[in-house]
């Protein structure tokens, strides 16, 4: 039994599964953190909109530079996210429509434009297509040069880690710092924007900063894991966490735990699960991670200690 476990977690595991699991987890946490505040501000779908417009941004960056390297892609995607936010604002004002409709109009249009650009231009030389954008390629982010757990201490092997891993780690640190440094301001402006304005916090600027943090997380995670995980992680772990506690700090903590569980279990189920049923093939890890986060959400909806609205106990 223990031997089985050791072989299961042996050199092959380090080479093939460790980096995707770590990358998936980093991406999940990076999205779940700002997701907590988006959820409480009733902006949960901003993440949805942003992850849709990342595709046209990346395609535009490719059209401009002709290559598919990380920095222009991230700049393009970030620019697309900002363009989308501005367009949503314009449509909302000009058409005097509700934010949901404005958002739906803008992100479907930009996504459609991105798909069409992708199909019209010749991108066959590089690996960029709609499937990839939706699903990411978590399974392919393997660590070729790893020979076992010892490689974690070997600088030469560490240098060949998939570049997504250090990138996501940096983004995660940045987002954590942002939330840590502006904790009080974020908390107050989320729960009572008018009060926040009265005591000198600028709620609009902070709200914009939050959207930017969201966009950064979405873009960094999108490159590694595709837009499905991004949307699922913005919403599901924070939503589950919201049903566990009434305290913001604990909610953020729970959301990190749920995001981690989703990423690890999702990857394991996708990679090894079919084998338990005798199938030699793996299924989509991105899809499975989203599915696990959904199962967690259903469980918390049924059993979460704080699942009801205040006062709903009395009615029920």
Partner 1 sequence: MGFVDYFISALFLQAGYNSALVAIGAGLLGLSAGSAGAFIFLRKRALVSDAISHATLPGVGLAFIIMVAFGSDGRWLPGLILGSAISSAIGLLMVEWITRKTRLTEDAAIGAVLSVFFGFGIVLLTVIQTMSSGRQAGLENFLLGSTAGMLISEATTIAIAGALAAAFVFLLRRPMTLVAFDPEYAATTGVNVRNIDLAMMGLALIVTVIGLKIVGLILIVALLIIPPVAARFWTNQVGKMIGIAAVIGGLSGYIGAVLSAAEASLPTGPIIVLVAFGFFLISALFSPLRGGLASALRHQRFQRRVHRRQGLLSLARREPIYDGLTIRILRRAGMIRADGVATARGRIAAEKAAHDEARWAMARRMLPDDSAIERYDGLTPIERMMTPDQIAEIDRMILSAQNAQAQQGATT
Q: Which residues bind partner 1 (CB under 8 A)?
A: 39, 42-45, 47-48, 91, 94-98, 100-105, 108-109, 111-113, 115-116, 119-120, 130-131, 134-135, 228-229, 231-232, 234-236, 238-239, 242-243, 270, 274, 279, 281-284, 286-291, 293-294, 297, 301, 304, 306-310, 312
Q: Measured from the CB of residue 117, what is the shortest distance to partner 1 in angstroms?
A: 9
69/279 with CB nearer partner 1 = 279
Q: Measured from the CB of residue 292, what is the shortest distance to partner 1 in angstroms?
A: 9
Q: Measured from the CB of residue 293, what is the shortest distance to partner 1 in angstroms?
A: 7
81/161 with CB nearer partner 1 = 81
- The answer to whether 274 and 282 are in contact (CB under 8 A) is yes
Instruction: Measure the CA–CA gap between 143 and 153, rounded to whole angstroms.
Output: 14
SS3 144: coil
Q: Measured from the CB of residue 162, what is the shortest distance to partner 1 in angstroms?
A: 21
Classify residue 97 by its DSSP letter.
Answer: -
Residue 212, burial from CB neighbour count under 10 angstroms (0-12, 13-18, 19+):
middle
Instruction: Measure the CA–CA gap between 35 and 172, rounded to whole angstroms.
Output: 13
250/308 with CB nearer partner 1 = 308
Q: Measured from the CB of residue 19, what is the shortest distance to partner 1 in angstroms?
A: 20
Q: Measured from the CB of residue 306, what is the shortest distance to partner 1 in angstroms?
A: 7
How far, in Å, are 37, 179, 195, 215 from residue 191 at the CA level? Answer: 10, 15, 9, 22
Compute the Cα dihedral for 9, 222, 49, 241 and give only its sign: positive
216/241 with CB nearer partner 1 = 241
Q: Please report where in the chains the tokens 């939330």 appear, as a residue.
A: 179
Q: Measured from the CB of residue 143, what is the shortest distance to partner 1 in angstroms?
A: 23
94/194 with CB nearer partner 1 = 94
How far, in Å, are 48, 79, 101, 117 from residue 175 at the CA level? Answer: 18, 19, 29, 32
146/286 with CB nearer partner 1 = 286
How far, in Å, are 31, 38, 178, 193, 200 from residue 188 at the CA level? Answer: 21, 14, 15, 7, 11
14/133 with CB nearer partner 1 = 133
């Amino acid at each position: 039994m223990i031997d089985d476990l050791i072989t299961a977690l042996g050199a092959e595991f380090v080479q093939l599964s460790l980096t995707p699991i770590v990358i998936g987890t980093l991406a999940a946490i990076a999205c779940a953190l700002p997701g907590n505040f988006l959820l409480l501000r009733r902006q949960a779908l901003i993440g949805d909109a942003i992850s849709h417009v990342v595709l046209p941004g990346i395609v535009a960056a490719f059209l401009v530079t002709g290559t598919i390297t990380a920095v222009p892609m991230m700049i393009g995607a970030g620019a697309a996210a900002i363009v989308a936010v501005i367009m949503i604002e314009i449509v909302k004002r000009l058409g005097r429509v509700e934010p949901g409709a404005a958002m739906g109009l803008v992100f479907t249009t930009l996504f459609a434009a991105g798909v069409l650009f992708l199909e019209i231009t010749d991108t066959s030389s590089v690996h960029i297509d709609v499937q990839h954008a939706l699903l990411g390629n978590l399974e392919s982010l393997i660590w070729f040069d790893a020979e076992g757990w010892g490689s974690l201490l070997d600088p030469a092997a560490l240098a060949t880690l998939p570049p997504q891993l250090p990138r996501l780690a940096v983004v995660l640190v940045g987002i954590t710092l942002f939330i840590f440094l502006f904790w009080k301001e974020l908390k107050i402006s989320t729960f009572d924007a008018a009060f926040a304005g009265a005591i000198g916090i600028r709620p609009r600027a902070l709200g914009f900063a939050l959207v930017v943090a969201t966009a950064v997380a979405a873009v960094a995670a999108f490159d590694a894991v595709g837009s499905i995980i991004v949307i699922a992680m913005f919403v599901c772990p924070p939503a589950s966490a919201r049903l566990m506690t009434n305290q913001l700090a604990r909610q953020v903590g729970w959301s990190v735990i749920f995001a981690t569980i989703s990423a690890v279990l999702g990857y394991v189920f996708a990679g090894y699960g079919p084998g338990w049923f005798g199938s030699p093939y793996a299924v989509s890890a991105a899809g499975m991670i989203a599915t696990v986060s959904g199962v967690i959400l259903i469980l918390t909806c049924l059993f979460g200690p704080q699942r009801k609205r205040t006062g709903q106990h009395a009615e029920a």
